[in-house]
Chains A and B, each alone.
Chain A
């Protein structure tokens, strides 16, 4: 997938263009700009989806093994979930923020010089456990990223309501209850996938020829992230906490997840 850099760059350009229009809409509440942004985002998403499906069906492979390839798929999953979410229960600006986040991730993928990091064969489909491990984990990251974005939106709206300022933004952002509920729902969806991904990672580690260490930074980091999300769920489910405090916890946990994803990878011997 990443070998076709020029296609990737076109897709990235369209995502970027869509972001420009979304920003115009964000600033000026411009209906035409919003329409253009949505159209461009849809086009970029379709192109990316087509390339992923094409590679999966015709080339019998998935580009998942390097960090930048993983980011590429992660960005796609993030946008897919946000687009589905926007269709079923629209939350103003969520697609914009998901797009912005995914774009930053794509940019990161490009800046990691993919030409030096692509494996000749990618992951062959016979490595089912590894593929399932990475796919579940990336899916979990997609859900948890959206939960994080919603938590940040909650905190912004909370501040606007509390400070009684920026009503132009206040009227346009969703209500606190909705942001809180959806943010929680995405944690509920993300944590089981994260757990499954972790289990499959351990299983693959044991059955593969590579050495597996419980004390590897990546293993410790991933288990820590899962534990903090479990604390979040316990506080919400059994203790009934909600709102600002949990949104702060959610945001902080996601930052740990990012550190685990980027920093701990460099200190680990596993795949990205």
Chain B
């Protein structure tokens, strides 16, 4: 009987000193997987190596030998003594290993619950393994099911949809106001370190119209030049505010940089155009009184943090519902495996019965040589039908016996079967 094992180092259980040693870069992992299958008792292997984990999956006919092979492989590959990493290795076998793989690929085991990056990494690992022929029927089917399940869960439950970082929440909120933000005019107030980082991120998001504002105009101009943006002094902000869609403020000022009184007169000119404002400064740069104005959406750091918490909670809730759907997947895979073991036995049974049926038909033809072609056809059809009807129940039984070597052997003995090697 074939077993599925996994052993690996994980961001939660293994110190970074060990994790950073046991890493398989993408360009050499294929060779490593191939190499692992050369160990005795190892039939298939897939290695998943990311910045948070390295996990090795093998199929083996001997659990102990399988784990020993993995340890030996890691030890030889990275020249570390087994005793140095063994305490930190997480070992799993059969159902636990399969469940873990399903959970991991869906992002339920990730630092950020529901993230989709891991699914891509599992897909890549499988693809590399297949290219290096380190997988066979069992792993091809398991990983195919795992990837399909993870994709389906992401589609049906949207487990990874809610933003769980402050910057991502800010971008998502802006998108809820404007849709696409690429063509929006953004005002970045503050030319310090945070301002520069904001500019960098905005450029990365494809925003092209940016104006930098700072108390000292020269500093704003210097930063604006670097990022091909416009610049303005803070005391001249009123001149540009009518055109602005998004404000991101991060100065070290002690007073409000933008107040309700500054924006209110511009409301008529804006004619209902929304203004989205993010205050990432502490103490705050943007007057909370601005919230009272129509079409202005003001969020500070506390608001953004609160949304992150709420989204994390929502993800955890969805993750719990996904967990419940893992078990039917496991049962379905187990059934498939049972079938896989039973297939050669069923094939042998069908072959033997077909041979008996053919011999019987030939014998009838020899004893009654005057049979017409039509009569032979009818006889053939009916004798086949008898065989199929008799075998229907035993075949069903064989399918359920698949996971037990002893039961399958009894089945072979009862029917006197010999499988082809």
Q: What is the number of residues of chain A that contact chain B, defined by CB distance less than 8 Å? A: 24
Known A157-B176, A161-B173, A167-B310; contact A32-B295, beta-carbon cutoff 8 A: no
Question: With a CB–CB cut-off of 8 A, which chain A residues contact B297?
Answer: 161-162
A146 → B minimal CB distance (Å)? 19
User: What is the interface of chain A mostly: helix, strand, loop, or mixed?
Assistant: helix
Residue A170 interfacial (CB < 8 Å) = yes
Known A161-B297, A175-B177, A175-B179; contact A246-B272, beta-carbon cutoff 8 A: yes
- The answer to whether B303 touches A168, judged by C-beta atoms less than 8 angstroms apart, is no
For this complex, 13 residue pairs linking A to B, each with C-beta atoms less than 8 Å apart, are: A29-B157, A162-B297, A164-B306, A164-B307, A167-B307, A167-B311, A171-B172, A176-B177, A177-B178, A178-B179, A243-B272, A244-B295, A246-B272
Question: With a CB–CB cut-off of 8 A, which chain B residues contact A177?
Answer: 177-179
Q: How far is the CA of A246 from the CA of B294 in the complex (A)?
A: 13
Q: How far is the CA of A176 from the CA of B295 in the complex (A)?
A: 11
Question: With a CB–CB cut-off of 8 A, which chain A residues contact B271?
Answer: 239-242
Q: How far is the CA of A212 from the CA of B243 in the complex (A)?
A: 52
B302 → A minimal CB distance (Å)? 10
Residue B158 interfacial (CB < 8 Å) = yes
Interface string of A168-185 (1 = CB under 8 A from B): 101101011110000000
| Chain B residue with Cβ nearest A179 | B179
Q: What is the number of residues of chain B that contact chain A, defined by CB distance less than 8 Å? A: 28
- The answer to whether B274 touches A176, judged by C-beta atoms less than 8 angstroms apart, is yes
Out of A29, A167, A176, A244, name the residue touching B158 (CB < 8 Å): A29
Residue A54 interfacial (CB < 8 Å) = no
Interface residues of B in 263-277 (CB under 8 A from A): 271-274
Known A161-B173, A177-B177; contact A31-B311, beta-carbon cutoff 8 A: no
Q: How far is the CA of A167 from the CA of B155 in the complex (A)?
A: 20
| Chain B residue with Cβ nearest A28 | B321
B329 → A minimal CB distance (Å)? 16
Interface residues of B in 154-191 (CB under 8 A from A): 155-158, 161-162, 172-173, 175-179
Q: How far is the CA of A31 from the CA of B322 in the complex (A)?
A: 13
- The answer to whether B156 touches A168, judged by C-beta atoms less than 8 angstroms apart, is no
Additional A-B contact list (16), CB under 8 Å, known A173-B176, A176-B274, A246-B272: A31-B157, A32-B156, A161-B176, A161-B177, A164-B303, A164-B306, A164-B307, A167-B310, A167-B311, A171-B162, A175-B176, A175-B179, A176-B178, A241-B272, A243-B273, A245-B272
Residue B299 interfacial (CB < 8 Å) = yes
Question: With a CB–CB cut-off of 8 A, which chain A residues contact B294?
Answer: 244-245
Interface residues of B in 117-173 (CB under 8 A from A): 155-158, 161-162, 172-173
B275 → A minimal CB distance (Å)? 11
Q: How far is the CA of A164 from the CA of B176 in the complex (A)?
A: 12
A161 → B minimal CB distance (Å)? 5
| Chain A residue with Cβ nearest B172 | A171
Interface string of A144-161 (1 = CB under 8 A from B): 000000000000010001
Out of A161, A162, A242, name the residue touching B273 (CB < 8 Å): A242
Residue B81 interfacial (CB < 8 Å) = no
Known A175-B175, A177-B177; contact A168-B314, beta-carbon cutoff 8 A: yes
Interface centre among A177, A244, A245, by most B CB within 10 Å?
A177
- The answer to whether B178 touches A244, judged by C-beta atoms less than 8 angstroms apart, is no
| Chain B residue with Cβ nearest A32 | B156
Question: With a CB–CB cut-off of 8 A, which chain A residues contact B306?
Answer: 164
Question: With a CB–CB cut-off of 8 A, which chain B residues contact A239?
Answer: 271
User: Which 9 pairs across A and B sit closest by C-beta, in order of nearness?
Assistant: A243-B272, A31-B156, A177-B179, A175-B179, A242-B272, A241-B271, A175-B176, A177-B178, A161-B297
Interface residues of B in 288-321 (CB under 8 A from A): 291, 294-295, 297, 299, 303, 306-307, 310-311, 314
- The answer to whether A244 touches B272, judged by C-beta atoms less than 8 angstroms apart, is yes
- The answer to whether A31 touches B272, judged by C-beta atoms less than 8 angstroms apart, is no
B315 → A minimal CB distance (Å)? 12
